[in-house]
């Protein structure tokens, strides 16, 4: 139990740091990375909440969040590169379009 509490506290500190980077972050990619790591931290926090409140079935939900986070980050990055979501990775024209 002590271990779970300590882990949750560490996660909360990490979330604070990531939030600060998201707020200050001078670069666009700092912010994308911050969003992605915040999603990962949320997934971990959900797992910890599940174990703290003795409902480990939260792990399934955390897994689904991880999937959504991954797809969301891919979508955002793809958007930055191609300025549209319709074109696939195999299209010929690059980021200069």
Q: What are the CB-based long-range contacts (under 8 Å, 24+) for 30-39?
A: 32/73, 32/76, 32/77, 32/80, 35/73, 35/76, 36/69, 36/73, 39/65, 39/66, 39/68, 39/69, 39/72, 39/73
Q: Under the criterion CB under 8 A, does residue 79 sit at the interface with another protein? A: yes
In angstroms, what is the minimal distance from the CB of 94 to another protein?
A: 14
- Asked whether position 68 contacts another protein by CB under 8 A, the answer is yes
List contacts with another protein (CB under 8 A): 1, 5, 8, 12, 15, 19, 22-23, 25, 28, 31-32, 34-35, 38-39, 42, 45-46, 49, 52-54, 58, 61, 64-65, 68-69, 71-72, 75-76, 79-80, 83-86, 97
């Amino acid at each position: 139990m002590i271990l779970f509490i300590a882990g949750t506290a560490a996660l909360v500190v990490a979330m604070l740091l990531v939030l600060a980077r998201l707020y200050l972050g001078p670069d666009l990619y700092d912010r994308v990375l911050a969003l992605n790591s915040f999603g990962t931290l949320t997934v971990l926090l959900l797992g910890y909440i599940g174990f703290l409140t003795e409902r480990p079935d939260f792990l399934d939900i955390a897994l689904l969040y991880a999937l959504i986070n991954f797809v969301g980050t891919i979508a955002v990055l793809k958007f930055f590169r191609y300025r549209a979501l319709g074109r696939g990775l195999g299209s010929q024209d690059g980021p200069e379009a």
